[in-house]
Every structure is written in structure tokens, then in C-alpha cells.
């Protein structure tokens, strides 16, 4: 049904998991492709835009969870007609929906492809992107598997959709061998014209080989049969029609007479352009002739893209008793982290918390990018220490959508994320870098910026010492707890205490003892406040509303317990041993499901006006009681920090679909990325529990990697070198780790030994002091043996 290979994942049915999908990206675009051929693609100009549209006017919004697919959803398809029998099927499955005799969907790290066989005709489709530019590079192969000559018509069909109510059209350009569809982005103000005229409002399908015929008018193509059985395919040839203020489509026809075992390949480029000159340049660049035996631009671009994706290699390669876990961690997790750090989620104003956490992950892949990101974020800090709701990454960008709503948590992520970077690189020199303030003429060192951020958290509190929530903290839709200016966030107070602890540790390392003492005291005071006002007897409350109502407590019928309040109380040190045991049991009893640990429970079923729109989300979806993986991984990281090894791994493993087939099918997602959530409400709505959101934008992945480094495998950097402190689950007897660290390569063999009472580390058969490998030299390989009890 599905299986991993060395660098890919394979699915052999288009119906068992109809939303199974993968994604590709480069610096300018992202494309999300499902196993049946449906596609969501975006490119930057500089804001996200589309070149393959829905059949009606679309609102501009972020990617939707659990993306609904429908017959006319944008896609990339190939219709195939047997000219002698008139039989039609389509690859990869949509839109004709004829079950193939053989089907294989491949998700590679740098490609997505299908092999479909029906009636002895094989169709291979393969998609790659170039390293640069918003273009789709397609190879489509046709092979006659029968022992007789076949007459076929093959119709590549690429959705263009409803481009604009203001102006849209399309026609075939004989010179370029391309269908070119044109539109004008609607605007009202004359001042917008100078911006709109530079938009890439053309969509083109460029063919390497001249087609026999084409159709550019979607309505003509479909006729009375619709997209599942287009009338146009009944004719000998497509009508070579155009679209004049009509919905365009890119459909080509190739008539083939194929001998037994003959194979033909066609190459296409699909994407946006500003003008025909740009399309001409694309044709010359990718299909221009080169001398014999030399790759052309198309092949060069494919190879460049493979190398580009390969750059997203993590610093960890593992071998454990759980081979499916190994495959995900080695192949797919660093890939997803790399996507976040390279593209910034295709946003010109990423939320500050997302930007910092995504680049925390880049500390393990490309630390220079992480370093630059921290400096960029701090350059947009206000002089009073406040961080913006979003980080502007383009000169023409502005804060949009959720970034126009004030949140109070952004400062807390600075020391937490910077800490991971410092552990990995030992680059404490960054603290002396001078960085400007937003809208001011003066600057300060990173150290001073960080102190200001911590003091902002201290000052943004009520008389009890609890942090204000305003219109949200980490939980965006918790927007009505504090909009009157009085409501407070229990989670943020706890997270601030943890941030103070982390920053105090960093200050101590760089001989800022007074600062270290100050922030340790603030952490202590915060923890005391948390216990005074938010401990409910068995777990911690989530917050206190504008009207002084404590919520997330035992007397609440819905939203009785929130996960974040528990995990971060472990991280901050607020919970003593008795409290720790109580809250752990409460989480297990009330929030754990077969698909992970839920964000809150029971889910809300109606609006609670003193909490906000989170309570209006469907029970078990997103922040309203889903297995919201970002919250879950915070909790798992906290479990590793307090030594709850088996508990931590059990929940970590649930983040990855499988290995049980029924589990993968219920989630509906192949284990090639971690989604932002799986449906929750397992006790209330078990039928839908576990379903993947299929959204791969999530701050989860950086924290998963940090859990592996700091927790599970315990190969964390410290100022002296690499500290080795594995926390393997008790049913693992061994693990092998290759750790890339500060320019060196360390081969680490961990073995469980009943003869040792504590972890012992050996280098060159000599016991290592404090289990820290010191004096690590670049371009050197080390072999280390670790014994654990």
C-alpha cells in the first residue's frame, strides 16, 4: 500500500488516502500536490500570488487546513484516449477517475511523480522545480506496453482557472509553442496601477514539442460532458480555440502511433510571467539547443534543484530499533525544517514567533541563516523592548492579517531560540553585534536588546505579576481574554519565567553576573505568582479573563485543561515534584489520544465570549482540542527536560503517521511531513479523530529536532564542547548516531549495559569527564562509545 525507499515514499492506490500529498519549493514558490493530481501553488511577487486558479473568484488567504478538493480544483492531469476504441482514462487519477491497472505515487525529496498503467498504456509524470524562479518543470512519458501498435491521443491538461473579473483571455502562440493566458489583477485606485503593471499576470504552458492541436477555452473543452468526460475528446482533434473574457485552460493534444514497447517523452514548463518576452527567455533558457551529449537548460535546472534540496541536510543521522522513525528523521524532518527557514513560509511579514522558531531550526542546518534572522528580528524591536507582531522582510511589505492584531508573547521567544543557536555554534560573539532599533537613530548590542526584551516582559504585567494577554499570546484565536486590558495569560507568565531562566544562564556564561542574578530572581518570583494564582489542585489554569474569571480549571465543563500551561510549568520550574506528578496524570487521562496529546479538553462546542474565537472552531480542529503538534512538542520537550523519557518518546512517536497501516489511513497522510495538527476530540468524535490537516507550515518541526538533540539522543552543544546524555526509551537496547557538530563528525554508539549505574562516555576507550567531548577540532572524525543503564 505504501512504503519508504531510500529517498522517497511510495503509495500504490489513489483511493485509500485520497488527500495523501507532498510539496516542493524554492525561494520564489511552493507547490503542494496530492496523489490524485490536485495542486495548490503559490509564488512571490513580492506577496503570495497564484497562476493556477479555482474556477471562481478566490479570496486571498493563507493555506487552508484539510484542503477540500473538488472536480474543478486546480490540477495537473493527462487525458489518454485510445483512438481505435474511444476509451478514455486520465493520469494520475483525476478527473476521469477510472481505476488504473497499476498505480504508483512517488514522493521524492526533490521530485513528485506518478506511474499509471491502464489497458497496456503507461503514463509517467514527474515534477521538479528550478532552483530559482516560479516555474514547474514537467516530464510526461507515454509507453505502449502491449504487443501491438497503438493509436493514442494524449492531452496534457493544466488548470488556469478564473484569473480576473477585470480582464482575462488566452490563446496559443505558434512561435513559442505555448498557451499564454493573460489577465489584469483588479484594482480601483489609480495609485495602484504602478504596482499592478509589474505583476506576473500571465500564465503559460510551454511545450518542447509542437502539439497536434490545443484548446484554451475551458467551457469548449468540457462541453456537455464536463471535466470528467470532456466533449472535446470525442472529436478527432481539439478545436484550437481561444478564450476571450472566458475562463481559460491549457490543454494540448498529441496524436501518437506507437509500436510495441515504444516510449515517447514530452517536456513542459508551466508558470507565471509578466510578458511574452519573459516566456521567450524561458524557452531559450530551458529548451535551447546545446551540443551533442550536453544537458540542456531543463536538465541543468533539474540537477540544480536536486542539489538545492540536498543542502537541507540535518546535523543528525540515526539508526535505532524503529526503522520507520529513522527514515522520517533522516530523510524528511530536516527537509521540512529547511523549507521553513529558506522560504519563511512564503511570507513577507512572518509572525515574529514563527520567524524566530523556524530559524531556531536553521541553527542545525545553516547556522549563518539563523544568525542573520535573529539580527533582522532584533532590528525591528522598539526602544522600549517590545517586539513587533511580524518581521518585515521586503521593503514594500507591511503587517497583514493576524499581524495587525496585538499579541504579547513575541519577546519570550528571543532567548529560547537564541539559546539553541548558541548551543550549536558557541557563537557568543553575536551578543556584541550592534543592531539598530525600529524607527530610531540609535543602536545597541544584541545583549542590550535582549535585556530590554526581558524587561518588557517584566513590565507588561498586572499588579499580581501576571503577564497581560491583550488580544492573544502564542494562541492567536484566544483573542477575547484580555482585549479590555485586564486579562492575563497564565501560559505567558510561565513561559516568561522559563525565558528568564534561559537568559540568566546565557548572561552567566558571558560574565554578566548581575544580570544573571536579576533574571533568576524574576523567574523565581514568576513561578511563585503562577503557583499562587493558577494552580488548581491537579493542574495549572490557562489564564484569567478581563472580568477576573480563572479558566482552564476543574470546574469548567469545556476547556477544562490546557496543555501549554502544564508543559511550560515543567520548563519554568514552577511545578514541584508533587505538582509534576499530578499534572502528568491529568494530561494522560484527559488529553492523550492514539494520535498524540490534545491541546485542550474537552473541546469547546459554543462561543465563550470571554475567551474568544478559539471556542468557535469546530471541536477537535486546530486550537480547539486538536492534537496541535506545536503545543504537543512543547510538552514533549518539557518531558525530556524533567527526565520523563518513555512518556516523551511515546508522544513523540505519535507525531509521525504509522507504522501501523490503519493509523496511516486514518490520518490520511504519508509520513513525509508533520502537519500542524491531527484532529482531536477523540473521546467526543472518534470517527474523525486523527485526520491530518495536511498543512506543513508549523513551528513544530524545529522543536522536534531540538527534542532529538537535547533529549532523545542527548547530543547537545555546550560552551566546552558536546555533552552526551541520551534518554533512549527503555525498550531500546542501542542506537547509532552520526552527529555533525561545529565542523567535526562524531560517530556515537549507545548501548544499554546493565552493569553501569549511570551514563558513561568513552572516547578512544578512555572515560570522558562530565560526559562532555572537549577540544573538538574541525574536519575531524571522532568515534565515541556510550553505555547507559
Q: Which residues are designated catalytic?
A: 476
> Do residues 215 and 251 touch, judged by C-beta distance below 8 A?
yes
CA atoms within 13 Å, Cβ hemisphere of 347 = 24
- 203: which strand partners? 181, 272
CB 711 within 8 A of CB 648: yes
100-105, long-range: CB < 8 A, 24+ apart: 100/14, 103/12, 103/13, 103/14, 104/10, 104/11, 104/12, 105/10, 105/11, 105/12, 105/14, 105/20, 105/35
Distance of alpha carbon 698 from alpha carbon 351, whole angstroms = 12
Cell 484532529 belongs to 679
SS3 314: coil
C-alpha cell at 672: 513525509
Whole-number Å distance between alpha carbons of 150 and 144:
7
Distance CA(395)–CA(666), nearest Å, equals 44
Q: Which of 240, 249, 242 is nearest to 222 (CA)?
A: 249
Burial class from Cβ neighbours inside 10 Å (0-12, 13-18, 19+) for residue 293 reads: exposed
Sheet-wide strand order for 488-489: 488-489, 543-544, 550-551
Beta bridge partners of 266: 140
Among 179, 131, 382, residue whose Cα is nearest residue 283: 179
Q: What is the DSSP letter of 321?
A: S
Task: Pull the grid cell for residue 407.
Answer: 499579541
Rg (CA), the chain: 28
How many Å apart are CA 8 and CA 26, to the nearest integer?
Answer: 19
Identify whether the C-beta of residue 159 lies closer than 8 Å to the C-beta of residue 280. no
Alpha helices in 344-412 (DSSP H): 352-362, 367-378
Three state DSSP letters for 25-89? ECCCEEEEEECCCEEEEEEECCCEECCCCCCCCCCCCCCCCCCCCCCCCCEEEEEEEECCCCCEE
Three-class DSSP labels, 403-472: HHCCCCCHHHHHHHHHHHHHHHHCCHHHHHCEEECCCCCCEEEHHHHHHHHHHHHHHCECCCCCEECCCC
Q: What are residue 722's DSSP bridge partners?
A: 717, 773
Cell (9 digits) for 175: 512561435
Cell numbers that stand for 67 in this block: 484542503
Cα gap 27→755, rounded to integer Å? 52
| Omega cis (within 30) before 90 | no
Q: Residue 412: CA atoms inside 13 Å, Cβ hemisphere, count?
A: 23
| Cβ atoms within 10 Å, residue 13 | 17
Question: In this structure, what C-alpha cell is assigned to residue 649?
Answer: 518518546
**Pairing mode of beta strands 8-11, 102-108:** antiparallel
3-state secondary structure of 331: helix
What distance in Å separates the CA atoms of residue 461 and residue 419, rounded to the nearest whole number? 24
Amino acid at each position: 500500500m505504501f512504503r519508504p525507499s531510500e529517498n522517497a515514499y511510495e503509495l500504490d492506490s489513489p483511493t485509500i488516502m485520497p488527500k495523501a500529498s507532498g510539496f516542493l519549493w524554492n525561494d520564489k514558490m511552493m507547490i503542494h500536490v496530492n496523489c490524485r493530481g490536485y495542486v495548490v501553488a503559490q509564488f512571490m511577487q513580492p506577496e503570495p500570488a497564484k497562476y493556477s486558479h479555482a474556477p471562481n473568484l478566490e479570496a486571498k488567504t493563507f493555506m487552508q487546513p484539510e484542503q477540500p478538493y473538488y472536480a474543478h480544483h486546480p490540477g495537473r492531469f493527462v487525458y489518454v484516449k485510445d483512438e481505435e476504441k474511444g476509451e478514455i482514462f486520465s493520469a494520475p487519477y483525476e478527473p476521469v477517475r477510472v481505476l488504473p491497472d497499476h498505480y504508483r505515487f512517488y514522493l521524492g525529496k526533490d521530485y513528485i511523480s506518478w506511474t499509471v498503467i491502464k489497458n497496456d498504456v503507461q503514463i509517467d509524470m514527474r515534477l521538479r522545480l528550478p532552483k530559482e524562479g516560479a516555474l514547474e518543470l514537467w516530464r510526461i512519458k507515454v509507453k505502449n506496453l502491449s504487443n501491438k501498435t497503438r493509436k493514442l491521443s494524449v492531452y496534457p491538461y493544466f488548470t488556469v482557472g478564473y484569473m480576473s473579473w477585470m480582464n482575462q483571455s488566452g490563446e496559443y502562440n505558434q512561435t513559442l509553442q505555448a498557451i499564454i493566458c493573460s489577465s489584469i489583477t483588479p484594482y480601483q485606485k489609480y495609485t495602484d496601477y504602478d504596482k499592478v503593471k509589474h505583476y506576473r499576470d500571465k500564465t503559460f504552458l510551454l511545450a518542447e514539442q509542437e502539439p497536434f492541436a490545443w484548446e484554451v477555452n475551458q467551457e469548449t473543452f468540457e462541453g456537455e460532458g464536463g471535466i470528467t468526460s470532456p466533449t472535446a475528446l470525442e472529436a478527432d482533434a481539439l478545436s484550437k480555440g481561444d478564450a476571450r473574457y472566458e475562463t481559460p485552460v491549457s490543454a494540448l493534444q498529441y496524436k501518437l502511433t506507437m509500436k510495441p514497447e515504444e516510449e515517447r517523452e514530452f517536456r513542459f514548463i508551466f508558470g507565471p510571467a509578466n510578458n511574452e518576452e519573459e516566456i521567450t527567455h524561458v524557452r531559450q533558457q530551458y529548451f535551447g539547443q546545446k551540443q551533442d551529449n550536453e544537458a540542456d537548460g531543463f536538465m541543468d535546472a533539474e540537477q540544480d534543484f536536486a542539489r538545492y534540496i540536498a543542502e537541507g541536510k540535518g546535523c543528525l543521522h540515526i539508526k535505532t530499533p524503529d526503522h520507520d522513525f529513522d527514515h522520517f528523521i533522516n530523510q524528511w524532518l530536516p527537509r521540512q525544517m529547511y523549507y521553513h527557514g529558506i522560504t519563511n513560509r512564503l511570507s513577507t511579514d512572518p509572525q515574529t514567533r514563527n520567524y524566530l522558531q523556524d530559524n531556531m531550526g536553521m541553527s542545525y542546518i545553516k547556522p549563518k541563516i539563523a544568525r542573520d534572522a535573529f539580527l533582522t528580528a532584533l532590528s525591528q524591536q522598539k526602544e522600549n523592548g517590545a517586539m513587533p507582531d511580524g518581521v518585515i522582510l521586503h521593503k514594500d511589505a507591511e503587517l497583514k492579517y493576524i499581524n495587525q492584531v496585538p499579541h504579547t508573547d513575541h519577546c519570550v521567544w528571543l532567548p529560547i531560540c537564541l539559546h539553541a543557536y548558541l548551543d550549536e555554534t558557541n557563537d557568543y560573539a553575536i551578543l556584541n553585534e550592534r543592531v539598530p532599533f525600529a524607527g530610531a537613530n540609535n543602536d545597541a548590542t544584541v545583549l542590550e536588546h535582549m535585556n530590554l526584551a526581558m524587561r518588557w516582559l517584566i513590565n507588561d504585567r498586572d499588579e499580581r505579576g501576571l503577564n497581560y494577554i491583550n488580544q492573544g499570546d502564542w494562541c492567536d484565536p484566544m483573542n477575547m481574554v484580555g482585549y479590555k486590558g485586564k486579562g492575563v495569560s497564565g501560559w505567558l507568565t510561565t513561559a516568561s519565567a522559563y525565558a528568564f531562566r534561559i537568559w540568566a544562564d546565557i548572561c552567566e556564561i558571558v560574565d554578566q553576573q548581575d544580570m544573571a542574578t536579576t533574571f533568576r530572581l524574576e523567574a523565581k518570583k514568576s513561578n511563585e505568582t503562577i503557583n499562587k494564582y493558577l494552580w488548581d489542585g491537579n493542574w495549572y489554569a490557562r489564564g484569567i479573563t478581563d472580568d477576573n474569571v480563572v479558566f482552564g480549571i476543574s470546574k469548567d465543563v469545556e476547556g477544562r485543561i490546557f496543555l501549554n500551561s502544564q508543559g511550560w510549568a515543567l520548563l519554568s520550574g514552577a511545578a514541584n515534584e508533587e505538582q509534576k506528578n499530578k499534572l502528568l496524570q491529568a494530561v494522560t487521562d484527559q488529553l492523550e489520544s492514539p494520535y498524540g496529546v490534545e491541546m485542550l479538553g474537552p473541546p469547546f462546542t459554543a462561543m465563550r465570549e470571554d475567551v474568544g474565537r478559539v471556542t468557535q472552531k469546530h471541536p477537535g480542529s486546530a486550537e480547539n482540542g486538536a492534537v496541535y503538534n506545536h503545543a504537543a512538542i512543547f510538552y514533549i520537550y518539557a518531558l525530556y527536560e524533567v527526565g520523563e523519557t518513555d512518556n516523551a518518546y511515546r508522544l513523540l512517536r505519535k507525531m509521525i503517521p504509522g507504522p501501523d497501516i490503519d493509523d496511516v489511513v486514518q490520518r490520511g497522510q504519508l509520513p513525509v511531513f508533520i502537519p500542524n495538527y491531527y484532529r482531536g476530540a477523540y473521546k467526543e468524535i472518534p470517527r474523525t479523530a486523527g485526520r491530518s490537516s495536511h498543512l506543513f507550515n508549523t513551528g513544530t518541526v524545529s522543536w522536534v529536532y531540538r527534542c532529538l538533540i537535547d533529549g532523545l539522543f542527548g547530543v547537545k552543544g555546550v560552551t566546552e564542547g558536546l555533552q552526551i546524555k541520551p534518554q533512549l526509551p527503555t525498550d531500546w537496547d542501542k542506537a547509532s548516531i552520526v552527529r555533525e557538530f561545529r565542523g567535526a563528525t562524531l560517530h556515537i554508539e549507545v548501548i544499554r549495559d546493565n552493569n553501569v549505574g549511570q551514563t558513561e562516555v568513552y572516547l578512544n576507550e578512555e572515560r570522558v569527564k562530565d560526559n562532555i567531548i572537549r577540544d573538538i577540532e574541525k574536519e575531524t572524525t571522532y568515534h565515541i562509545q556510550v553505555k547507559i543503564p
